[in-house]
Structure 1
């Protein structure tokens, strides 16, 4: 079973926010990511955890 990974741009489009907002979430530690060289990827699992935590804050 392979896990899905997303780019910052894909996450931004999906959540209807700017790429800068997604980058800030990563920088602040709210959204976990993987860095491979200069590429940043967010796993499906980390995205779901982030969304669950964000919904719990409201």
Structure 2
């Protein structure tokens, strides 16, 4: 089970880190996370947080 506190910290740190990134860099990180994470359940959390950043940047 995901610890909600650690997930919130993870989400905030990634949002702040990615706020200045452009779409090309975000696409690279999507690929990097999927390649290294494989079927890990954390991959969905990464993708969700990056999707949130994409919405905020539009």
Q: TM exceeds 0.5?
A: no
Tell me which of the two structures has the higher relative contact order, counting C-alpha pairs closer than 8 angstroms and 6 or more residues apart.
Answer: 2
More strand, by proportion: 1
More helix, by proportion: 2
- TM-score by structure 2 length? 0.37
